[in-house]
């Protein structure tokens, strides 16, 4: 992510919609800096990153996205209030790590920080990516469904 005088640009490509009839759907606020990282388990036992895509708007001025919302017809959710959101169809049963980035700025220095959550999207499920107090979480819109996570070491590059 790059920033300049109240503007920010996210240069990574946006997630493209999966076309399969078993698609899971995911929604995120366009103003948050949210990325999806996709992993595959290697024969050595570690997990290798195979792709990286963004869910949020590509350009923002003073923290407000200048691109519109992308809708796919997901069920309504009250988690976002009046924030614009993007919705995507994603391939189910992938190892996904969702990461929210932000800058912790101080007078003389600043740090880029992140919060993440790993999950495996299930076929035909709808998910909200929620950022609250700079902590990212995943919510399945099926009230009885549980988020299926994954654990393991990331392969060294």
Quick one: what percent of the chain has pLDDT higher than 70? Answer: 85
Question: Do residues 55 and 85 make contact, with C-beta atoms less than 8 angstroms apart?
Answer: no
| Domain-embedded: residue 149 | no
Residue 24: the pLDDT is: 97
Number of domains in the chain: 1
**pLDDT of 152 above 50:** yes
Residue ranges making up the domain that contains 21 = 2-34+53-92+101-112+122-140
| Domain-embedded: residue 68 | yes
The chain-wide mean pLDDT, for the chain, equals 84
In angstroms, the CA 60 to CA 98 distance is 20
**pLDDT of 6 above 70:** no
Residue 30: the pLDDT is: 75
Residue 88: the pLDDT is: 93
> Is the Cα torsion angle 113, 37, 18, 129 positive or negative in sign?
negative
| Domain-embedded: residue 16 | yes
In angstroms, the CA 52 to CA 97 distance is 10
| Domain-embedded: residue 71 | yes
Distance from the Cα of residue 83 to its chain's centroid: 15
Q: If we measure between CA atoms, which residue out of 84, 14, 85, 88 comes closest to residue 51? A: 14
| Domain-embedded: residue 150 | no
pLDDT tens digits, 24-77: 999 988 777 889 999 999 999 999 999 999 887 655 554 555 555 777 788 888
pLDDT tens digits, 121-148: 999 999 999 988 889 999 999 989 999 9
| Domain-embedded: residue 117 | no
Query: What is the value of pTM for the model shown?
Result: 0.82
C-alpha distance from residue 77 to each of 9, 26, 63, 67, 81 (Å) = 27, 12, 22, 21, 9
In angstroms, the CA 96 to CA 99 distance is 10
């Amino acid at each position: 992510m790059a920033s300049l005088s109240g503007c920010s640009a996210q240069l990574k490509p946006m997630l493209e919609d999966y076309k399969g009839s078993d698609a899971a759907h995911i929604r995120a606020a366009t103003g948050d800096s949210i990325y999806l990282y996709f992993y595959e388990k290697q024969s050595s036992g570690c997990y290798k990153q195979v792709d990286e895509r963004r869910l949020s708007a590509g350009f923002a001025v003073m923290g407000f996205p200048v691109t519109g919302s992308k809708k796919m017809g997901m069920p309504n959710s009250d988690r976002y209030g009046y924030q614009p959101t993007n919705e995507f169809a994603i391939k189910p049963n992938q190892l996904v790590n969702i990461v929210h980035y932000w800058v912790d700025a101080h007078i003389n220095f600043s740090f880029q920080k992140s919060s993440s959550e790993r999950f495996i999207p299930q076929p035909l499920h709808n998910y909200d990516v929620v950022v609250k107090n700079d902590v990212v979480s995943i919510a399945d819109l099926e009230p009885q469904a549980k988020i299926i996570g994954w654990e393991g070491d990331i392969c060294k590059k």
